[in-house]
Chain A
Amino acid sequence: MATVVLLDSDAAGLRPVGGARIGERWQRLALGGLFLVVLFAAWELEAVLGLEPSIVLPSPAEVLAAFGDLFTSPDIWADFAASGQEFLYGFALATVVGIVLGLAVGWYVWLGYLVDPFVMFLYAIPRVALAPLLIVWLGIGMSSKVALVFLTAVFSVLINTSSGIRSLDSNLLRVARCFGASDLQIFRTIALPGSVPFILGGLRLAVGQALIAVFVAELLGAQHGIGAMIENAGQQFETATVFSGRFGFAAAGMVLSSIVRWLERRFDAWRL
């Protein structure tokens, strides 16, 4: 990405020149969209030719119809609410705990020594493997799902945050120290803003992982939730419904990542 170096104070010069970037953006969207259209066309063609029975691979039209059916049934809103809550609680908890612990672990060297091996140990386990255990401990209700989402997402936030603190620019720390900054001031003015990009990067990873956790947790037993709905539909060979549920997940993931991306851009304006 080009760095804009200002040679004069002309107000117009303060903003990056737009033309080239807008062109690039359209090109990006057009190519990405074209690829999706081709994929869907091939899929529909496959269905028209009848290469696979629709119970194995339903046509896009059938998936669309199933999608419509889903949203006309009242159950879907309960499923959405359940999955949404599991995600929200687990993710919020992971964000708060991950950031606070990550800041502490990155800031206090001894605390890092203390917990690093443990964190690495937990991080190395596929955390979805904890799901059966959590159901035994917390039951089949909401809390075991929230716990799994939390455990899946928290490490990305924690590890990213602490490495953000550890990789602070030593020049900036020296500047602050020269001005006689206290530890608290260094933390507030250097460490915290300096690790924001790392924290947001961690959150972006965590969003994807949390969504997987929601799905896996519901797969293993739940009354409501998109994952449970997909699991039921699968068992009844309603393949089109399974597909539409998956697209629902994909849509949720894309929306949530875009939110984090937007946050990253917002806080990262100074990095460009």
Chain B
Amino acid sequence: MSFLSPQTERAARPPEDGDDVYLRARQLSVAYAAGKTGDIVLAVDRVDLSVRRGELLCVVGPSGCGKTTLLNAVAGLLPISAGELTLKGRKILRPGPDRAMVFQQPGLLPWRDVLRNVTYGLELSGKLTRREAAARGRELLALVGLDEFAHVYPHQLSGGMQQRANLARALAVEPELLLLDEPFASVDAQTRETLQVELLGICKRAKVTALFVTHDIGEAVFLADRVCVFSRRPGRIVSEIRVSLAEPRAEARLRPEFLAYVRTVAEALGAGRGGAPGATG
């Protein structure tokens, strides 16, 4: 359990190191039949990638580049076409309680109050009693700053608060790997920055290992220990950038090295845009 693991230094060693690797993709390709035509689309093309314990890895790429497909494959929602995809050495075949996903849409059950939404994953896994689950739910509400809204319905919350509840729900099941798919893309800019800062704090406190997908370069640099840059579809990793920003990160945005990282990622992204053959966006 990531919550119980010993203190981890973030991104100190290269990702090739053995037992610390949680998620590993080797020559991973994912194709799926798209839309009404049923055409086979190769979305992820021979990707090598790993996420180490306690690390936050951001995947950045142009929209439609296959980064969400990658995330869905890791979540077990899509079968992989070739290569290997493992979490702590176990093959990923289907969704499971060792992973939890935070989508762009909060996806809270509208007929449940916030607390019962947060405990939803626990309820499905059936590992805790109702009372234990409620206690754990309250802990997480406190962690995301929603402790006073336990018995409020989702429609009464602002978009940012809904997304915090969504995050709490994902963390409640103590996933080994947290998957985030542009979770802050549909909240306003100000709320987004607040949530990014909070996410960093929460990840640190809860010792979360996370794979974060975004098209927002600033967001990726701000949050990540490492940034993987995807090319246009079919998604390939064109560059991998290690980010080490001085603490506290919350103030990093104003420092010159932050801008330098943003420029590096943007250049890699630009190269990836031009580079891939047959790209359609």
Report whether B96 and A172 are in contact in the complex, using a CB–CB cutoff of 8 Å. no
Report whether B173 and A179 are in contact in the complex, using a CB–CB cutoff of 8 Å. yes
* Among candidates B95, B112, B153, residue contacting A179 with C-beta atoms closer than 8 Å: B95
Residue of A nearest to B169 (CB): A175
| Minimum distance in angstroms from B269 CB to a CB of chain A | 28
Report whether A185 and B155 are in contact in the complex, using a CB–CB cutoff of 8 Å. no
B92-113 interface with A by 8 A CB criterion: 94-97, 99-101, 103, 105, 107, 109-112
User: Chain B contact residues: over half helix, strand or loop, or mixed?
Assistant: loop
B3 at the interface (CB under 8 A from A): no
A178 at the interface (CB under 8 A from B): yes
Question: What 0/1 pattern do residues 60 to 79 of B give for CB contact below 8 A with A?
Answer: 00000000000000010100
B148 at the interface (CB under 8 A from A): yes
- How many A-B contacts are there with CB distance less than 8 Å? 73
- Per the bound structure, the CA–CA distance linking A8 and B260 in Å amounts to 39
Using Cβ atoms and an 8 Å threshold, which residues of chain B touch A271? 110, 155
Report whether A6 and B124 are in contact in the complex, using a CB–CB cutoff of 8 Å. no
Report whether A181 and B155 are in contact in the complex, using a CB–CB cutoff of 8 Å. no
* Among candidates B96, B149, B154, residue contacting A180 with C-beta atoms closer than 8 Å: B96
- Per the bound structure, the CA–CA distance linking A179 and B111 in Å amounts to 18
A190-232 interface with B by 8 A CB criterion: 190, 193-194, 196
Residue of B nearest to A178 (CB): B101
Using Cβ atoms and an 8 Å threshold, which residues of chain B touch A185? 124
* Among candidates B107, B149, B152, residue contacting A174 with C-beta atoms closer than 8 Å: B107
Report whether B110 and A270 are in contact in the complex, using a CB–CB cutoff of 8 Å. yes
Report whether B103 and A174 are in contact in the complex, using a CB–CB cutoff of 8 Å. yes
B156 at the interface (CB under 8 A from A): yes
* Among candidates B95, B105, B125, B155, residue contacting A178 with C-beta atoms closer than 8 Å: B95
A272 at the interface (CB under 8 A from B): yes
A235 at the interface (CB under 8 A from B): no
Given contacts A175-B103, A179-B95, A193-B109, contact A270 B153 (CB under 8 A): yes
| Minimum distance in angstroms from A183 CB to a CB of chain B | 12
- Per the bound structure, the CA–CA distance linking A6 and B113 in Å amounts to 14
Query: How many of B's residues come within 8 Å of A, CB to CB?
Result: 31
Using Cβ atoms and an 8 Å threshold, which residues of chain B touch A194? 111
Report whether A171 and B105 are in contact in the complex, using a CB–CB cutoff of 8 Å. yes
Query: How many of A's residues come within 8 Å of B, CB to CB?
Result: 28
B19-74 interface with A by 8 A CB criterion: none
| Minimum distance in angstroms from B126 CB to a CB of chain A | 9
- Per the bound structure, the CA–CA distance linking A4 and B152 in Å amounts to 11
Report whether B153 and A178 are in contact in the complex, using a CB–CB cutoff of 8 Å. no
Report whether B157 and A177 are in contact in the complex, using a CB–CB cutoff of 8 Å. no
Report whether A175 and B148 are in contact in the complex, using a CB–CB cutoff of 8 Å. no
Question: What 0/1 pattern do residues 212 to 256 of B give for CB contact below 8 A with A?
Answer: 000000000000000000000000000000000000000000000
Report whether A176 and B148 are in contact in the complex, using a CB–CB cutoff of 8 Å. no
Using Cβ atoms and an 8 Å threshold, which residues of chain A touch B149? 6, 9
A5 at the interface (CB under 8 A from B): yes
Report whether A171 and B107 are in contact in the complex, using a CB–CB cutoff of 8 Å. yes
Residue of B nearest to A10 (CB): B148
- Per the bound structure, the CA–CA distance linking A48 and B234 in Å amounts to 85
Most chain-B CB neighbours within 10 Å: which of A5, A171, A180, A269?
A180
| Minimum distance in angstroms from A5 CB to a CB of chain B | 6
Using Cβ atoms and an 8 Å threshold, which residues of chain A touch B100? 178-179
Most chain-A CB neighbours within 10 Å: which of B103, B105, B156, B158?
B156
Report whether B75 and A9 are in contact in the complex, using a CB–CB cutoff of 8 Å. no
9 contacts between A and B (CB under 8 A): A4-B156, A5-B157, A172-B107, A174-B103, A175-B103, A177-B95, A179-B95, A189-B120, A271-B155
Which 3 interchain pairs have the tightest Cβ spacing?
Answer: A9-B148, A171-B107, A175-B107
